[in-house]
Amino acid sequence: MRAFGGWQVGTYDPAAAETIYRSGCCGRLSAALLASRGLTGPREAEEFLREDTGLLQDPMLLEDMAPAVARIRRAVEAGEKVAVYGDYDVDGLTASALMTSWLQKQGLRCLTYIPERLTEGYGITEEALRSIRREGVTLLITVDCGVTACAQAELARDLGIDMVITDHHECLPELPAAAAVVDPQKRSCPYPFKGLAGVGVAFKLVCALEGPDRVDAVLAEYGPLVALGTIADIMPVVGENRCLIRQGTRTLREKPLPGLDALMRAIGLDKKTLRGTDVSFSLVPKLNAAGRMGSVRTAFDLLMAEDPEESARLAGELCEMNNARKAVENRVFTDALEMLENQGNVESPIVLASDTWHHGVSGIVASRLAERYGVPAVVICLEGEEGRGSCRSPGDFCLFDALGEASDLLSSFGGHAMAAGLTLPRENVDALRERLDKLYRASEGAQLQARIPVDFQLEDLGLLTLKEIEGLRDLSPWGVGNPPPTLCIRDVRVDSITPIGNDRHLKMTVSRDGARLDCVFFGLSVRELGIRAGTWVDLVFEPGINEFRGSRTVQLLLRCVRPSRQPEEPTLPLARRFFAGERMLPVELAMIRPDRNDLARVWRYISSRSRRFAEEEDTLLPEIALRAKVPSFGRILVCLRVFDELGLIRLQEQEGGLDIRIPRFAGKADLNESKILERLR
């Protein structure tokens, strides 16, 4: 969460929004949001809002689906012993449970193998294959893994095991030699929707096995698993996934699996009002905790459980594991922050490694670091001469491609653009840091401070009503490709600020034009915000509803707060006259002449940000004025020009914007050498 920062504010066509609204498919606020996201009329809006199974594509369009179906049907007819090989995250767990359940219902003897994160790591191992063969397995079906397992596929063939691979991860040029490789990411695959989760691909396989007339029945039975895995793996919430998540979440509310029902009771979730965010922030962490803490089978057994007492016991164990996971995660995160403490500006990918860290929380810690610093983060747990790491990217930097460029340093890697995993020799950690730094700096815009994407600026505060905000839920579920609505309003007055949660969070009330709004900012204290009541501010927020003791009120979930523009500030025109070379009175020069404290405060603030940031002048100057406690815009501009003159920064001013770059600078600047300050004396 950031109190300040640049915004990237979108717009929308009011005529398109009005047309969508008048069609009756949604409210005014929802219509404006749809228009801001490129929908131009009622037909597009209605198509977007669809959630019926007509959105689901024919599973036979997936390349290799026909041989996959044929091989599994042959196993069913012959009564072969089959193994499902999954992954330890929620996507892999739900895919494993779905595939195992279907095979068992066909009367097959089915073994489910899910590797332990801490001892085996991701993917298929030689030891696992040999163990599976000793159990008499002749067909191995992978879910959420296997698309890069070329050597393992050869070993399986030598052992007498056929493999049907189902996956959704990025593919390498060489594919495993298996009976079938079903993955929408295959370059030759014609399947039109590439965003399926691993559990989504497993679902499509079962649909193909059952036949086109049984799609609704398969979704009714396995929908909760598909929704859970798709949400957990942060897949794009559009097209097929929108249907799968909405239908699956509805079934989760109305007729959940016994294990998930017990887990919801254990954590106090009301299944009748369950939403996608409850799945993301409540159910998923508990299920993931099992794999992170070295007991992945507990989560799988919960998903497969049918007995209520057994379900309750397993749910309790997962909650205990999650509490232990939180403690370990916080310790590793604190260690990571201490490592970064002496680095100053964190402007390049973070690559940290330790012999004492718990690999089960490396992904979460990498995510927190990437969010906090706005750069990709790699957290590596060392053991002996090897390290295993998790990678997360906060923006447009593609981790999978970057790791491919650094593959000569790695033992293995895999994943997606924004999240990946790797193993490497201990001795290559520093080289990986240098390689990622080089790739990151070469990527377009990587050095620019990330801007907060805003759908549009809301002019009419009267649209922030309970009815309009409730209507936004029809556009959910939110996620990649369909993010939660993020709006901004300008020039509102802060009426009050109150610390909550032991001053870890804050509440605000703001007003404008007779409208008064309640706000909450989680993860930011009143002191960190640095704004007092009576200040005029601009806000970025997500519209929300606060429910407390039966009362429901509008509440804005703040994402960013910054001082409003102050066009009446008098010293900026004086500074412009000075730099234009005009003659000025001594009193005018005194108004824009910074002292050493002004220069020090402005430098401390801008040097605490990223090494490059570009923002509108009427946004950046008020922000510096507030944070550096230098109230004169003219003095701030003079400070920036002095820093530029002395080589401390490179400043570009154009079209009302300021572009500031801080080069790698060794040594100190002498203010006495500034010609600008000399002219002001």
How far apart are alpha carbons 28 and 31 in whole angstroms?
A: 5
Give pairs for 399-408: CB < 8 Å, separation 24+: 400/170, 402/376, 402/436, 402/439, 402/440, 405/435, 405/439, 406/432, 406/435, 406/436, 406/439
Burial 279-292 (b: 16+ CB within 10 A, else e): bbebbbbbbbbbbb
Q: How confident is the model at residue 291 (pLDDT cuts 50, 70, 90)?
A: confident
Residue from 185, 188, 213, 182 nearest 95 by CA: 182
- Beta-bridge partners for 508: 497, 519
Give the per-residue pLDDT at 103: 97
**Three-state SS across 449-475?**
CCCEEECEECCCHHHCCHHHHHHHHHH
How far apart are alpha carbons 241 and 632 in whole angstroms?
A: 52
Got the DSSP string for 512-525? Answer: ETTEEEEEEETT--
Q: What are the start-end ranges of the H helices in 23-110?
A: 28-36, 42-48, 65-78, 90-105
Q: How confident is the model at residue 181 (pLDDT cuts 50, 70, 90)?
A: very high
Give the per-residue pLDDT at 2: 43
Residue from 248, 143, 236 nearest 195 by CA: 236
Any idea what DSSP says for residue 482?
B
Mean pLDDT of 457-470: 93
Query: Could you tell me which residue, 626 or 88, shows the higher pLDDT?
Result: 88
Give the per-residue pLDDT at 665: 56
The pLDDT of residue 64 is above 50: yes
Least confident of 117-121, 461-465, 512-516: 117-121
| Distance from the first to the final alpha carbon of the chain | 42
- Beta-bridge partners for 463: none
The pLDDT of residue 430 is above 80: yes
Least confident of 20-24, 538-542, 662-666, 672-676: 662-666
Contact 204, 59 (CB under 8 A): yes
Query: Could you tell me which residue, 13 or 666, shows the higher pLDDT?
Result: 13
Mean pLDDT of 230-256: 92
Mean predicted lDDT score pLDDT of the chain = 90
Give the per-residue pLDDT at 445: 45
Give the per-residue pLDDT at 452: 82
Give the per-residue pLDDT at 354: 94
Q: How confident is the model at residue 155 (pLDDT cuts 50, 70, 90)?
A: very high
Give the per-residue pLDDT at 120: 80
Give the strand pairing for 505-512 and 551-563: unpaired
Mean pLDDT of 429-446: 82
**pLDDT tens, position by position, 481-503:** 899 999 999 999 999 999 998 88
Q: What domains, with CATH codes, occur in the chain?
A: 54-241 (3.90.1640.30), 344-442 (3.10.310.30), 455-563 (2.40.50.460), 571-680 (1.10.10)
Going through 176-265 in order, the beta strands assigned E by DSSP cover 180-182
**Residue 593: φ, ψ to 5°:** -85, 115
Contact 171, 185 (CB under 8 A): yes
Q: Which two tokens stand for residue 503?
A: 């001053």
The pLDDT of residue 536 is above 90: no
Mean pLDDT of 2-29: 86
Spell out the residues 6+ positions from residue 80 whose beta carbon is closer than 8 angstroms to its own: 74, 108, 138, 139
Give the per-residue pLDDT at 5: 54
Query: Could you tell me which residue, 246 or 667, shows the higher pLDDT?
Result: 246
For the chain, what percent of residues have pLDDT higher than 90? Answer: 65
Q: How many CB atoms lie within 10 A of CB 409?
A: 20
Residue from 670, 9, 118 nearest 383 by CA: 118
Distance of CA 103 to the CA centre of its chain: 34
Going through 549-656 in order, the beta strands assigned E by DSSP cover 551-563, 612-616, 650-654
**pLDDT tens, position by position, 79-127:** 999 999 999 999 999 999 999 999 999 999 899 999 988 778 778 999 9
Element (H, E) at 495: strand 487-500
Range of 523-527, 613-617, 633-637 with top mean pLDDT: 633-637
Residue from 651, 679, 681 nearest 581 by CA: 679
**pLDDT tens, position by position, 257-274:** 999 999 999 999 888 888
**pLDDT tens, position by position, 341-397:** 766 557 789 999 999 998 889 989 999 998 888 789 999 999 999 999 999 988 778
